[in-house]
C-alpha cells in the first residue's frame, strides 16, 4: 500500500469519527503532567449540552461545528463566495489536503487577548500540551463544567474551517493583525498536530490571516517552539467512559 493510499484511508476514518475519539486525560500541576487512570479516559462528544453552551457563551466564547471538509474544499467554497481563502498552503500532499476538519462542536474565545492559551508561544508540542491541559483544568473549575477540555487539533483543516465560519459570521479574520498585536508580535499561528512530512517530525500551523490575502498553512518542527506559534484555546465537549 502506497503512502497516498494510506493517507486517504486515514482521512476517511477521521471524517467518520468525532463522537468516539479517545483522548489522554492529564492534569497540570506545576511543570509536571499527572496521568489520570485509563479507566477515566475521556471521549469527545459531538455537541455541548445546553448548560455547557450557555456557560461558555456567557463567558465570551463562540461555538462552531466544522463541516468535515478538506482544505481544497474550503478553498473552493470560499472562492464561490467571492472571498479570500488561502494565501499559502505548505506542500505536504494528502497529509494536508486529504484530511477533513473534525465535525464536532468547538468553542473558541474570539477576543484577541483570550484566543490563545497563555504562555503557549515558543514551545514544543509536548510543552504546549501541558499548557493546554492546565488551561482546561482552570476553565473547568472556573465555569463548574466537568466534561469539557481543550485540545491541539490533529487537523489543520479544523482550524481553517473554524476561521472561515467565523469570517462568514462576523466579517473578522481569526489570526489577523489584532491577534498578533495582542501577543506583541507581527503575526501569529495556531499549532496543530497535522504532520506535513512522512516522519511526522514537522506539523502544520495555521494563521497569519490578512484580509487581502487570506490564511496561511505552514509547518514547523513539533519538538521546537517558534515565537509566532501558540496553542489556540480550543474547547471541546467530552464524556467519561
Q: Assess whether pLDDT exceeds 50 at residue 36.
A: no
Residue count (the chain) = 241
Give per-residue pLDDT as tens, 181-239: 999 999 999 999 999 999 999 999 999 999 999 999 999 999 999 999 999 999 999 98
Dihedral Cα 162, 152, 231, 84, nearest 10 deg: -30
Q: What is the pLDDT of residues 87-104, one digit of tens each?
A: 999 999 999 999 999 999
pLDDT of residue 236: 98
Q: What's the average model confidence in pLDDT over 79-84?
A: 95
Is residue 21's pLDDT more than 60? no
Model pLDDT for residues 111-144, shown as the tens digit of each residue: 999 999 999 999 999 999 999 999 999 999 999 9
pTM, 2 dp = 0.83
- Name 202's bridge partners: 221
Q: Given a cut of 60, is residue 20 above it in pLDDT? A: no
Burial class of residue 198, CB neighbours in 10 A (0-12, 13-18, 19+) = exposed
pLDDT of residue 102: 97
Confidence of residue 43 (pLDDT cuts 50, 70, 90): confident
Q: What is the dihedral of CA 207, 14, 24, 49, to 10 degrees?
A: 80
Work out how many domains the chain is built from and give that number: 1
For 135-166, the pLDDT digits (tens) are: 999 999 999 999 999 999 999 999 999 999 99
Mean pLDDT of the chain: 87
Does pLDDT of 15 surpass 80?
no
- The pLDDT-based confidence of 241 (bands split at 50, 70, 90) is low
Cα 172 to Cα 42, 93, 107, 111, 214, distances in angstroms: 33, 29, 16, 11, 11
pLDDT attached to residue 32:
38
Q: Is the pLDDT of residue 17 over 90?
A: no
**Confidence at residue 64, expressed as pLDDT on a 0 to 100 scale:** 98
Full domain range(s) for residue 107: 3-240
Average pLDDT rounded to a whole number, residues 66-85: 97
Q: What ranges make up the beta strands (E) of the chain?
A: 22-23, 26-29, 32-35, 42-44, 62-64, 86-89, 106-108, 148-150, 189-195, 202-210, 214-221, 229-230, 235-240
The pLDDT score that the predictor gives to residue 18 is 37
Round to whole Å and give the CA distance between 82 and 187: 25
Predicted confidence (pLDDT) at residue 10 exceeds the cutoff of 90: no
Q: For position 239, what pLDDT does the model report?
A: 84
Amino acid at each position: 500500500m502506497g503512502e497516498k493510499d494510506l493517507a486517504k484511508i486515514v482521512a476517511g476514518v477521521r471524517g467518520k469519527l468525532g463522537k468516539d475519539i479517545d483522548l489522554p486525560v492529564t492534569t497540570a500541576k506545576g511543570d509536571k503532567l499527572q496521568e489520570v487512570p485509563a479507566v477515566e479516559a475521556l471521549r469527545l462528544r459531538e455537541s455541548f449540552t445546553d448548560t455547557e453552551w450557555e456557560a461558555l457563551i456567557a463567558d465570551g466564547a463562540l461555538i462552531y461545528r466544522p463541516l468535515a471538509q478538506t482544505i481544497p474544499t474550503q478553498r473552493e467554497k470560499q472562492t464561490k463566495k467571492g472571498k479570500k481563502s488561502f494565501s499559502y498552503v505548505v506542500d505536504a500532499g494528502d497529509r494536508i489536503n486529504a484530511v477533513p476538519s473534525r465535525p464536532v462542536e468547538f468553542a473558541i474565545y474570539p477576543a484577541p487577548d483570550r484566543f490563545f492559551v497563555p504562555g503557549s508561544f515558543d514551545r514544543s508540542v509536548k510543552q504546549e500540551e501541558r499548557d493546554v491541559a492546565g488551561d482546561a483544568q482552570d476553565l473547568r473549575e472556573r465555569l463548574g463544567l466537568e466534561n469539557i477540555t481543550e485540545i491541539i487539533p490533529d487537523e489543520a483543516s479544523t482550524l481553517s474551517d473554524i476561521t472561515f465560519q467565523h469570517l462568514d459570521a462576523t466579517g473578522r479574520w481569526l489570526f489577523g493583525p489584532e491577534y498578533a498585536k495582542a501577543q506583541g508580535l507581527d503575526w501569529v499561528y495556531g499549532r496543530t498536530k497535522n504532520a506535513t512530512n512522512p516522519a511526522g517530525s514537522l506539523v502544520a500551523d495555521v494563521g497569519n490571516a490578512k484580509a487581502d490575502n487570506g490564511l496561511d498553512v505552514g509547518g514547523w518542527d513539533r519538538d521546537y517552539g517558534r515565537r509566532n506559534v501558540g496553542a489556540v484555546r480550543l474547547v471541546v465537549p467530552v464524556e467519561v467512559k
